[in-house]
A and B are shown apart, each in its own frame.
Chain A
Amino acid sequence: MATARTGGLKRYYDVNGWLFIAPSILLIGIFLIYPIFRSLYLSAFTGKGMMLKFGGFANIVRLWNDPVFLHALSNTIIFFVVQVPIMIVLALLLASVLNNDRLKFIGFFRTAIFLPCVASLVAYSVLFKSMFAADGVVNSALMAIGLASGPIGWLTEPFWAKVLVILAITWRWTGYNMIFYLAALQNIDRSIYEAARIDGVPAWARFIYITIPMLKPVILFTTIISTIGTIQLFDEVYNLTEGRGSPANSTLTLSLYIYNVTFRYMPSYGYAATMSYVIVLMVALLSFLQFYAARDRS
């Protein structure tokens, strides 16, 4: 049918098609495209609040002289480098375990591991905060089983605060990634595994040489989603530290710093816009690298 379409009919379909998507194009234009260009324009301005004046590249220069920005950047990179691989590997392992139909209570486990990512962000942060307080249940448990000699300063010592943030986001998002892997695993033809088993390939080798290559597109997808999520990390640190990125800025992320520069500190909209573009560039670059690394070489 479509190939047989000619002249007037084709134009009829074209016009109608455009009319149908016109409202969404208009809305996307106003609320997405325009802000993108507007913020790029804004990033060239400096000044306090509404007292803006054109500054050219002043904000970019300011980035390199701002120790807090560099600190937030390095924190964000640490979270990304440490947390994303841990989470991806964990999700992959859990998915392959939960793909085994002979496991009992499989529905319960699948739900339990997925459940954290539908929990309210604020609720779980508050819960983590009380669990990891100096005299909270986690410290009590660690001390009771002899793993810690005194209370660990989860929220008061820079190193442990980073560990806590990593624990929190891993807890929340591992199940989310696992669901993608589970779905993908069920699409792998069972006969491949059967053939491998008959050939005497051990379980670990089946995982490395069959499962992982078959899941490559999904792994790429989850890695990019997790990368974007980690680089934009905001809610967890905001709620765990009352917006301060404490202690000693050890959990301050780029997003939290942008928020502070916009709403908590002297408003510096141009500078905040410039920093937002740093996030855009980082996400673009990392996604490109991941696509490049996962490309088909055949």
Chain B
Amino acid sequence: MANRTILSRFAAAALAGASIFAASAAFAGEVTIWCWDPNFNVAIMKEAGARYTAKHPGTTFNVVDFAKTDVEQKLQTALSSGTTDALPDIVLIEDYGAQKYLQSFPGAFAEMSGKIDYSGFAPYKVQLMTVDGKVYGMPFDSGVTGLYYRKDYLEQAGFKPEDMQNITWDRFIEIGKAIEAKTGKKMMGLDVNDAGFIRILMQSAGGWYFDKDGNLSIEGNPALKAALETEQKILQAGIYKPAAGWTEWVSAFTSGDAATVTTGVWITGTVKAQADQSGKWGVAPIPKLNIEGASHASNLGGSSWYVMESSAEKDEAIDFLNEVYAKDSDFYQKILVDQGAVGSLLSARSGPAYSKSDEFFGGEPVWQNFSDWLAKVPSVNYGIFTNEVDTAVTAHLPDLAKGANVDEVLKKIQSQAEGQIQ
């Protein structure tokens, strides 16, 4: 059944892309790609390039590795200065920033609707790259979230893995207190200067800083309010190890000081890097907020590939992305196993790697679980000012810790955000 779906998709896409295939014989250029993270995006793009070059020997790939902020800064500088020579052919953009680039630099990115069959991708991903009904970009990795937990700590505190399945955040805090009482370990690491956790909670209930039309939605946003209330409960319960910045946050759970970590699937590689903890970890769906529309699925981060309109190798670049990222199910199996990348092409989920169990997680079929949750991630409009509102939220997290009234905090966030987004 699943195989038939893939076949029919292939057929449909092949028909749709027939005109491109006709032209592809004449391709002979170097495609330059900007991205970050050598162990993840760069490695994956090199693999994708190798696959394409094997079939189209004329095309070569130059994958350039920068830090993420450098990619963003270089892209923004080149786009503003209007010197298209300085731009790559393909660039990686994090989902939160996609609309910002698409809307503030119209015409800079190549439209791909009509050339690529988007029906096979997770809908929330496609919506992020759509402006006025036109789709730009190739959906790439997902930041579908999970609750990674230490089975051994749970056991010491008298819990079973089943106790972590489909719980609420209130229950999570209760378990956290029990674990700390029995083992002395904190329930989680929390970067108190980062709003990532708030974003996970908010999106799990289908909310964001903006409504579906992109208007600021802070006061009177039930999902954001519930998210802030939950963070406040966690801060006040003291079940977290405070972290300042990424490195400290990561070391909270890799060092064994924290019993759980709730974040995007891309952290799997980092968790698994602690070989001595093999078999001690499990993954559950994230806990749920106590409001209407709340779910156990959410997203944090994730990014997609965009082709520059000014690129001399534009058609070649689009054809490459289409052939590998929209059709090659086998490619997705390889990057899942090698890099732990959960792509957003839903049909790739039926591939063999996804059904494999993982010994590190005690033989659980973690990939299958993640891809099931991926299909359930509520679709929201990230808007164009996520970074700005994020700053407004983090500015008031210390107040929350001190017990500030959540409605008052929402009011303050609203007024700070209004001052910044114009």
- Number of B positions contacting A (CB below 8 A): 41
Q: Beyond the given A244-B194, A265-B385, A267-B76, could you list 18 further A-B residue pairs with CB under 8 A, ordered by the A residue number?
A: A46-B422, A48-B104, A49-B76, A51-B106, A68-B395, A133-B244, A155-B245, A156-B242, A156-B244, A243-B69, A244-B391, A246-B244, A248-B395, A249-B391, A263-B72, A265-B388, A266-B387, A268-B422
Is B395 in contact with A249, judged by CB distance below 8 angstroms? Answer: yes
Is B79 in contact with A242, judged by CB distance below 8 angstroms? Answer: no
A133 (CB) vs chain B CBs: closest residue: B248
Whole-angstrom distance between the alpha carbons of A150 and B416 in the complex?
A: 33
Chain A 39-58 interface mask (CB, 8 Å, partner B; 1/0)? 00000001011110000000
Chain A residues within an 8 Å CB radius of B416:
67-68
Known: A49-B104, A266-B100. A247 touches B80 (CB 8 A): no
Interface of A toward B, CB cutoff 8 Å = 46, 48-51, 62, 65-69, 129, 133-134, 153-158, 241-249, 260, 262-269
Is B395 in contact with A134, judged by CB distance below 8 angstroms? Answer: no
Interface of B toward A, CB cutoff 8 Å = 69, 72-73, 76-77, 79-80, 82, 100-101, 103-106, 192-194, 242-246, 248, 384-385, 387-388, 391-392, 394-399, 415-416, 419-422
Chain A residues within an 8 Å CB radius of B72:
263-264
Whole-angstrom distance between the alpha carbons of A65 and B422 in the complex?
A: 11
Known: A153-B242, A156-B244, A263-B72. A68 touches B420 (CB 8 A): yes
Interface centre among A68, A69, A157 (most CB of B within 10 A): A68
Chain B residues within an 8 Å CB radius of A267:
76, 80, 100, 104
- Distance from A270 Cβ to chain B, minimum over Cβ atoms (Å): 11
Known: A51-B106, A134-B248. A248 touches B394 (CB 8 A): yes
Identify A246's interface contact among B69, B73, B80, B394, CB under 8 A: B394
Is B391 in contact with A247, judged by CB distance below 8 angstroms? Answer: no
Is A247 in contact with B76, judged by CB distance below 8 angstroms? Answer: no
- Distance from B251 Cβ to chain A, minimum over Cβ atoms (Å): 9
Known: A67-B416, A129-B245, A248-B395. A265 touches B76 (CB 8 A): no
Is A247 in contact with B193, judged by CB distance below 8 angstroms? Answer: yes
Whole-angstrom distance between the alpha carbons of A129 and B245 in the complex?
A: 10
Interface centre among A62, A241, A264 (most CB of B within 10 A): A264
Chain A residues within an 8 Å CB radius of B387:
260, 264-266
Known: A51-B104, A265-B385. A244 touches B422 (CB 8 A): no
A269 (CB) vs chain B CBs: closest residue: B80
Chain B residues within an 8 Å CB radius of A248:
394-399
Is A266 in contact with B397, judged by CB distance below 8 angstroms? Answer: no
- Distance from B77 Cβ to chain A, minimum over Cβ atoms (Å): 8
Is A156 in contact with B105, judged by CB distance below 8 angstroms? Answer: no
Interface centre among B242, B399, B422 (most CB of A within 10 A): B422
Chain A residues within an 8 Å CB radius of B101:
49
- Distance from B136 Cβ to chain A, minimum over Cβ atoms (Å): 15
Is B104 in contact with A247, judged by CB distance below 8 angstroms? Answer: no
Chain A residues within an 8 Å CB radius of B248:
133-134
Known: A134-B242, A158-B398. A66 touches B104 (CB 8 A): no
- Distance from A89 Cβ to chain B, minimum over Cβ atoms (Å): 30
Whole-angstrom distance between the alpha carbons of A157 and B391 in the complex?
A: 16
Chain A residues within an 8 Å CB radius of B399:
248
Chain A residues within an 8 Å CB radius of B192:
156, 247
Whole-angstrom distance between the alpha carbons of A158 and B395 in the complex?
A: 10
Interface centre among B101, B106, B193 (most CB of A within 10 A): B193
Interface centre among A134, A241, A244, A268 (most CB of B within 10 A): A244
Whole-angstrom distance between the alpha carbons of A153 and B387 in the complex?
A: 25
Identify A244's interface contact among B73, B77, B105, B193, CB under 8 A: B193
Chain B residues within an 8 Å CB radius of A129:
244-245
Interface centre among B76, B77, B392, B399 (most CB of A within 10 A): B76
Is B80 in contact with A157, judged by CB distance below 8 angstroms? Answer: no
Chain A residues within an 8 Å CB radius of B242:
134, 153, 156
Identify A50's interface contact among B105, B244, B395, CB under 8 A: B105
